[in-house]
C-alpha cells in the first residue's frame, strides 16, 4: 500500500468515527508529511472544511509559505472543484486520489476543472490510488447511515 495514501486513509477513518463523510488528506514535501486532516464540515458547521482545504491550510501555516510548490497531496476521494482549485492556486505539484466521485469529482469523475485551463499552474492528477480501500470506507460509512435510518 502507498504509505502516504495509507496515512490519508487513517485520517478518513477518524472522520468516520466523528460521523463526518470519511475523507482524509495529507500534504507531503520531500517525502515527509507536513500536514494532515480529515473532513470537519459537520463538527465545524462549515461546508468548506473539506479534508483537502484543511490540510492545505495547515501545510501553508506549518511551512510558513504562501504556496505549496514542490508538495504533493494525497486524498482518499477525488477532489471537488473548490479543492482542486485550491490545489492549483497553491501550486501543489501533484494530487493523488483514491476513489473517483461521479457526483462531485472535479478531476475526471464528474468534470475536469484543470483541463479547462482555468489556472496557470499545472497540477498533475493521478486517480485510483488504493481505490478499493478508499471506496470501501465510503461505502461502509453510508451503508451504516442507511441502516441507522431503518
H or E segment to which residue 6 belongs:
helix 3-17
pLDDT for residue 121: 84
How far does CA 74 lie from the centroid of its chain?
Answer: 6
CB within 8 Å of 72: residues ≥ 6 apart:
4, 27, 28, 29, 92, 93, 94, 95, 96
Angle CA(101)–CA(26)–CA(76) in degrees, nearest 5?
Answer: 20
Does 133 qualify as catalytic in the annotation?
Answer: no
pLDDT band for 147, please (50, 70, 90 cuts): confident
- Tell me the three state secondary structure of residue 42: coil
The C-alpha cell 515527509 sits at: 32
How far apart are the C-alpha atoms of 14 and 123, rounded to whole Å? 27
Q: What is the pLDDT of residues 6-64, one digit of tens each?
A: 999 999 999 999 999 999 999 999 999 999 999 999 999 999 999 999 999 999 999 99
Mean pLDDT for 104-123 is 87
pLDDT for residue 98: 98
100 pLDDT above the threshold of 80: yes
Which residue(s) pair with 27 in the sheet?
35, 73
Q: What is the pLDDT of residues 58-96, one digit of tens each?
A: 999 999 999 999 999 999 999 999 999 999 999 999 999
pLDDT for residue 117: 76
Cell (9 digits) for 116: 479547462
From the candidates 11, 20, 52, 72, give the one annotated as an active-site residue: 52
Amino acid at each position: 500500500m502507498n504509505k502516504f495514501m495509507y496515512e490519508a486513509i487513517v485520517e478518513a477513518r477518524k472522520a468516520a468515527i466523528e460521523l463526518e463523510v470519511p475523507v482524509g488528506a495529507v500534504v507531503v514535501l520531500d517525502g515527509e508529511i507536513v500536514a494532515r486532516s480529515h473532513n470537519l464540515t459537520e463538527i465545524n458547521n462549515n461546508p468548506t472544511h473539506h479534508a483537502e482545504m484543511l490540510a492545505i491550510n495547515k501545510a501553508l501555516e506549518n511551512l510558513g509559505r504562501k504556496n505549496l510548490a514542490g508538495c504533493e497531496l494525497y486524498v482518499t476521494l477525488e477532489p471537488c472543484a473548490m479543492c482542486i482549485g485550491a490545489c492549483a492556486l497553491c501550486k501543489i505539484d501533484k494530487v493523488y486520489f483514491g476513489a473517483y466521485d461521479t457526483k462531485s469529482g472535479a478531476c475526471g469523475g464528474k468534470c475536469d476543472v484543470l483541463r479547462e485551463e482555468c489556472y496557470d499552474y499545472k497540477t498533475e492528477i493521478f486517480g485510483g490510488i488504493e481505490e478499493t480501500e478508499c471506496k470501501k470506507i465510503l461505502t461502509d460509512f453510508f451503508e451504516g447511515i442507511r441502516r441507522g435510518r431503518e
